[in-house]
Amino acid sequence: MLLSLRARLLLWLLLPLALFVFVTDYMSYVAACQTADLLQDAALLSSARTIIEDVDWENGALTANIPPAALEIFESPYQDHVFYKVVSGRDRLLGGSPDLTLPAGSTRYPVFYNTRLGDLPIRAVAYERQLYDSGKAEQVTVIVGKTQASRQAMLEDLWRPQLIRQWLMLALVVVLVPFGLTMELRPLMKLKNDVADREPMELEPIRVHHLPSELRPIVDAINQCIARLKLHTTTQRQFIADAAHQLRTPLTLLNTQVQCATQYDPSDPALTEALTGIRRTSQKMADMTSQLLLLAQAESVSLPRVQARVDLAAVVSSVLEELVVAAQRRQIDLGAELAEGTYVAGSESLLAALVSNLADNAIRYTHEGGSVTVLCRREGSHVLLQVVDNGPGIPAEARAHVFERFYRVASDVEGSGLGLAIVHQIALSHGGTVTMAPGAGRVGLVITVRLPAWRNEERE
């Protein structure tokens, strides 16, 4: 089973064509044979007639003078051997090669036949004539034969050019079909690249302009599939957002109830401990629902909708203002190195969530007394955001998984496990990338977010 379209199409063309060429070549070979035989036979006959013209009575006996013209007729570059034999009556040899055999039966009319002389295959003609002289009648038979070299040459001249033309045609087919297919399959290859290069969440239909009509049905089918997928994904996201939203009210209720309970000065320390535990747990759930909502929000944003000009450095400083208390609590030296002109296109609230999640993670995972620095600067056509800490870092084998939802590197640190998934999603939806590497001297972690810089400077 050949899977390549090219090979299969080539086979479809090549096999019938080759068969056709074979048959027509055979037929033209047969025709060429007939033509060559006809011409050769005509020459043999005219030579035989010339010879028989010159057989004459001389002193009451028949003599044969072979005129040169009778043999010159066969002159050719192929130097055929020509044999003749003149016989009078039944077997009186008047001249020529005695070994040349007569055909069986009557030679009243010219008889063409194939024979052999020694080892040589011979084509010969036998021609018979009655010669009369003073009441005497004598029957004279002339046989002229020749070897086949010139006939063979003529046959090849007649047949070979066509043979060459047809095989050339086949060769052209072999070359042109794959070439043509490669050229014509380029839209298909482009389509393949279009589909293969898509971002996982890029659910826009494929454009059908400039596509060959044969590809339209495929693209239409893919687009329908994408539309269904999009609907499904939207429903799914909406569900997550709704679920997270619906969880908020009972969580608020729980928080308030716990708060009320703690106010009744409990004499039992075990009760106080339980209440503190409940509060912590409900806070964790609250954080997680917020993160889930944020993630759903980040996933539903597509780039063309978020084209506001945002100063990333300003976002960083306002986010750090919020986080300074958490940093202080863990005695972490929180700082920033911000440059000018760090404008990107995007949604300010989502970018704030991105910075906040990165810095918050760094503060959570860095040991007490460590340091966390957020850097923001322009680098070519990108704005670079880096969060550098001197914490434990992330082992290389875990790095591939940290952007997955609910993946946790350390289980002893509180967190939703959604932080980096949110960061990744927000960076993606802003056309950016997130990478991570160990810090200088293999201490700590550097997370780098690269976002396309705001380009429409003149629109300010």
List contacts with another protein (CB under 8 A). Answer: 245, 248-249, 251-260, 263, 279, 282-283, 285-286, 289-290, 293-294, 297, 317, 320-321, 324-325, 328-329, 333-338, 348-349, 352, 371, 373
339 contacts 383 by C-beta, under 8 angstroms: no
Q: Which is nearer to another protein, 325 or 396 (CB)?
A: 325
Cα–chain center distance at 341: 44
Q: Would you say 52 or 293 has its CB closer to another protein?
A: 293
Whose Cβ is closer to another protein: residue 128's or residue 360's?
Answer: 360
Q: Smaller CB distance to another protein: residue 188 or 338?
A: 338
Residue 76 or residue 317: which is nearer to another protein going by CB? 317
Beta carbon nearer to another protein, 177 or 286: 286
CA distance 18 to 350: 67
Nearest distance from C-beta of residue 223 to another protein, angstroms: 32
The nearest distance, CB 231 to another protein, in angstroms, is: 24
* Spatial CB neighbours of 216, under 8 Å, sequence gap ≥ 6: 208
For residue 358, the minimal CB distance to another protein (Å) is 16
Please say which residue, 196 or 260, places its beta carbon nearer to another protein. Answer: 260
Min CB(424)–another protein separation in Å? 19
- Give the shortest CB-294-to-another protein separation in angstroms: 7
Q: Which residue has the tokens 């306002």?
A: 318
CB of 250 to another protein, least distance (A): 8
Instruction: Please say which residue, 174 or 303, places its beta carbon nearer to another protein.
Output: 303
- Min. distance of Cβ 333 from another protein in angstroms? 6
Please say which residue, 46 or 317, places its beta carbon nearer to another protein. Answer: 317
Give the burial string for 189-214 (b: 16+ CB within 10 Å, else e): eebeeeeeeeeeeebeebeeeebeee
Please report how close the Cβ of residue 238 comes to another protein at its closest, in angstroms: 15
In 3D, which of 115, 144, 114, 145 has the Cα closest to residue 128? 144
Residue 394 CB, shortest distance to another protein, in Å, is 23
List beta partners, residue 435: 448
Output the smallest distance, CB 309 to another protein, in A.
15
Q: Is the dihedral of CA 203, 207, 208, 212 positive or negative?
A: negative
Give the nearer residue to another protein in terms of CB position, either 226 or 285.
Answer: 285
Q: Which is nearer to another protein, 59 or 249 (CB)?
A: 249
Q: Say how many Å lie between the first and final Cα of the chain, rounded.
A: 62
Residue 413 CB contacts under 8 Å (≥ 6 apart), including other chains = 364, 365
Nearer to another protein, 141 or 366 (CB): 366
Asked if residues 332 and 366 have their Cβ atoms less than 8 Å apart, the reply is yes
Closest separation in Å from C-beta 283 to another protein:
7
d(CA 167, CA 80): 31
Query: What's the closest the beta carbon of residue 404 comes to another protein, in angstroms?
Result: 23
